[in-house]
Structure 1
Amino acid sequence: MTRFPLAAAAGLLVAAGAVGLAGAAEAGTISGTLYREPDTAVARWVAANPSDSRMPVIRDRVASQPASHWLSNFNQSTVRSEVSGYVNAANAAGQIPVLTVYGITNRDCGGASSGGAPDLGQYQTWISGVASSLGSRTVVIILEPDSIALQTCLSSGDLAARNQALRTAVQTLKSGNPNAKIYLDAGHSTWNSASEQAGRLIAAGIGDADGFYTNVSNFNPTSAEAAFGRSIISSLSGRGVTGKRQVIDTSRNGGASGDWCGDDNTDRRIGQYPTVNTGDGNIDGYLWVKPPGEADGCRYAAGSFQPDLAYSLAGSAPNPPSPSPSVSSPSTSPSVSPSSSPSTSPSVSPSAGSSSPATGKTCSAAFRVAGTWQGGFQGEVTVTAGSSAISGWAVSWTLASGQSVTQAWNGTATTAGSTVTVRNVSWNGGLGSGATAQFGFLANGSASTPDLSCTAS
């Protein structure tokens, strides 16, 4: 069963931009960089708790990663602005937004994540509001978790009405943005059989969708989910439905499986870091649909961020790999109007710097403003190795008047007077020729473009 995250509240922007783990796709049908929105529960916790011993792990292994934005609060008056703000921010960054649409009537069969639209007529009006705000570029939509796999509370009439509502929702969303990639609920590998799930997907309109998703808020290993997905694809094909692909929620499947309720367990681990570079032609993405650290509704309130859960998931996980070069989403140019976006597009032109030490090894560094707020900003720096491989790097710059760096991730920052130096951490210093690494930081003061100096070893 699925437990949804709390909707992001308006507030201080504490992190922003893209995570460069998702480079050009080697398989599947999506290529690009997944978007990490700035104002998430985990990002706010990281910013508010700089002295907490758990903070570096949660910052580097959870807050640094893109997770899905959940539309879980049914509100006709705000859904357009919420969707357009999120999508426009991703488009401005040239990256791929991932939306989990979670508002269908009688969702979760009245469980801990109950709620949604009062009736299916109002649900379709809400879906129309979502569709009208999707823009024209690639957007991934995880449509209604548990709506197909969990049907025990539905009468035959209710089930027929839900299937019709899902079919209509897919068509409405595709009409709003033909480049939207829409995936329907397929439960997970230890729930319904592949044949049963395929039949349910067909009834719910997968013919008009791009595929299905599995393992949302669950813990089954990726290998089991991929095998389950292949069986569903085979069953669909045998019934004349072809060309469908899978996405897998890997946010919590790196440890033990079993009981879905992760609030009460300490043997869970984050799984594959989010990427559309899956290496599997059947799989369009490994996504963090359920944000790690957000509760299931067992020990804690459903959707609330709990740092002990996040730390338990991330504490023994490997660090994320060094970022791959960012690739723009393969879709048309954005045609969006200004909105109350939860982050700003870069308002300062990128800068770059390089050096050529006596070793002959060189690197360059490019800077961009990933987000701003009153009294502060987030910077993002991409380090690129020169023509030779390097084993380490350091980027330095001079702070402008009134600026101070308060936090950094994917690098170790030191300040001497007005000079800031960020050095690689253990896992992202070694770069091949032309390869990149990326670090970010939060700073007080007004955003400006520094002159960067990059030194390689």
Structure 2
Amino acid sequence: MKAKWWGGLAAVLTAAAAVLTLAQPAQAAAGFTVSGTRILDANGNTFLMRGVNHAHTWYAGQTTTSLAAIKALGANTVRVVLASGQRWTKNESADVTNVINQCKANRLICVLEVHDTTGYGEQAGAATLAQAVDYWISIKSALTGQENYVILNIGNEPYGNGTAAAGWTADTKSAISRLRAAGFQHQIMVDAPNWGQDWQFIMRDNAASVFAADPQRNTVFSIHMYGVFDTAAEINDYLGRFQSAGLPIVVGEFGHDHSDGNPDEETILATSQRLGIGYLGWSWSGNGGGVEYLDMVTNFNPAQLTSWGQRLFNGANGIKATSREASVFGGTNSPSPGGPSSSNPPSPSTGNPPAGGCTATYAVTNSWTGGFQGTVTVKAGTSAITGWTVTWTWPDGQRFTNSWNATVSSSGETVTARNAAYNGRLAAGAEAAWGFTASRGTSNNNPAVTCAAA
């Protein structure tokens, strides 16, 4: 849906039936798993993808430096373009092993995708999903044992806009079944038809039955958001239906502009953060065919971030502000290198909170002329708590422009923030974070923050 492989796009259709809700029994599986709408890593911790796409199959010589740079800018995931041999030269097992090892060395989760399937039925020479499965089976030796670090995205944008798109449901079910029968234990990701944008709602309306076709109940759905998703209403409706149905979805590709229309990237980022949905921007560098503006860096040089790269990595709800490294790399779900940091130190916590109490720390994670972004981390004391309230008084006339993961109210300089329904209960010593953007003047001193537990 980007660069020179893009076909035509019909107008967005309106109303369609809601996705059916499906109960998801717990499964014993290796590596990443699904729990309701959440993706869990191998340690059972929630993992929120925050990353980018890298076109390895066309720019293999750039992969080593690119992955290191992507990590340094704060990402926790990279979606890697591979080829199965139908349209581009096949990436063999040894090459895939090298890519996985480089992802692991950079502490990045690796989403591997076959790109030859792009636009099948409308794009000449495109591979079928069955051929993509043949490819995964042929390189299984490179993938076995990597379930903690690798997610298999069966095929990129596997149908165009023609009548063949109607085959997406049956072909996707068959592909999942064949992979499981071949012994793959990995989490599986499936792309939508219609060049990834699902404007016919084929994936949306059949997601529950596709999920049920996976005997491990470990399939994640991926929507690509370009010109079809040019309004907040469309974005919120599409992602919200998967949330309501209890099905896992990620935004596997999106951009700030496109030849088929102008995506609403601000809503994509804000809604993904609000709903706890992963996203992977397209793409690091090397775009052609008239969509070079989708490059995040110029000529693979991380010192030359484009405006799109600046927005995705450094802006509100972007990668630096929201990315957390997967706990399978030995961390404690802390910010990734290059992730949230503060030019103003957090408000200090003095001693341990009392039993049943809590403390809160305030940090500025990004700033710009006239505005800034912050994160507040609430920590329970020596006993569990059932809710929390954070208060402060702005010292320099700052004012909220947006907030997430808390219910926030202001009266003049006084701020009161209460937990959301899902992050108030904290075990002893556990933490919950919420974020905001705000306006500022010349000064931007940190307020003194207090926390009261329920």
TM value normalised by structure 1? 0.51
Match for residue 392 of structure 2?
Answer: 395
| Amino acid in the other structure paired with 2:152 | Y
CA contact (8 A) 1:249 1:287 kept: yes
* 1:156 to 1:81, Cα distance in 2 relative to 1, 3 A: closer
- Per-residue deviation, 1:159: 9.6
Match for residue 192 of structure 1?
Answer: 168
* 1:123 to 1:83, Cα distance in 2 relative to 1, 3 A: farther
From 209, 223, 226, the equivalent of 1:227 is 209
Distance 1:101 1:432 in 2: 37
Distance 1:76 1:85 in 2: 15
Match for residue 286 of structure 1?
Answer: 249
From 202, 218, 228, the equivalent of 1:262 is 228
CA contact (8 A) 2:34 2:219 kept: no
* 1:296 to 1:201, Cα distance in 2 relative to 1, 3 A: farther
Match for residue 139 of structure 1?
Answer: 109
Match for residue 257 of structure 1?
Answer: none
Structure 1 segment 432-447 matched on structure 2, within 5 A: 432=424, 434=426, 436=432, 438-441=434-437
Distance 2:231 2:324 in 1: 38
Distance 1:445 1:124 in 2: 55
Aligned residue for 1:191, secondary structure, equals helix
Cα shift readout 1:284-341 (whole Å, capped 9, x = no counterpart): x4322234x65564235xxxxx44x755x799x8993699xx998452426xxxx9x6
From 130, 152, 155, the equivalent of 1:183 is 152
Distance 1:405 1:123 in 2: 54
Structure 1 segment 102-251 matched on structure 2, within 5 A: 102-104=81-83, 119-120=89-90, 125=95, 128-129=98-99, 131-135=101-105, 139=109, 141-144=111-114, 147=117, 150=120, 166-167=136-137, 171-172=141-142, 179-185=148-154, 187=158, 190-194=166-170, 198-199=174-175, 202=178, 207-208=183-184, 210-214=186-190, 215=192, 216-218=196-198, 219-220=201-202, 222=204, 224-231=206-213, 233=214, 243=216, 245-249=218-222
From 57, 64, 67, the equivalent of 1:83 is 67
* 1:445 to 1:164, Cα distance in 2 relative to 1, 3 A: farther
Unaligned runs of 5+ in 2: 5-32, 160-164, 278-322
CA contact (8 A) 1:392 1:456 kept: yes
Match for residue 53 of structure 2?
Answer: 70
- Per-residue deviation, 1:102: 2.8
Structure 1 segment 347-426 matched on structure 2, within 5 A: 351-352=348-349, 364-368=359-363, 370=365, 378-383=373-378, 393-396=390-393, 409-410=403-404, 422-424=415-417
- Per-residue deviation, 1:133: 3.1
* 1:179 to 1:322, Cα distance in 2 relative to 1, 3 A: closer
* 1:120 to 1:178, Cα distance in 2 relative to 1, 3 A: same
| Amino acid in the other structure paired with 1:298 | D
* 1:438 to 1:344, Cα distance in 2 relative to 1, 3 A: closer
- Per-residue deviation, 1:246: 0.3
- Per-residue deviation, 1:225: 0.7
Match for residue 304 of structure 2?
Answer: none
Unaligned runs of 5+ in 1: 6-23, 36-65, 92-96, 110-117, 235-242, 253-259, 301-305
* 1:379 to 1:345, Cα distance in 2 relative to 1, 3 A: same
* 1:171 to 1:446, Cα distance in 2 relative to 1, 3 A: farther
Count of residue pairs brought into register by the alignment: 346
- Per-residue deviation, 1:99: 2.7
Distance 1:446 1:297 in 2: 41
CA contact (8 A) 1:398 1:450 kept: yes
CA contact (8 A) 1:394 1:456 kept: no
Structure 1 segment 1-12 matched on structure 2, within 5 A: 2-3=1-2
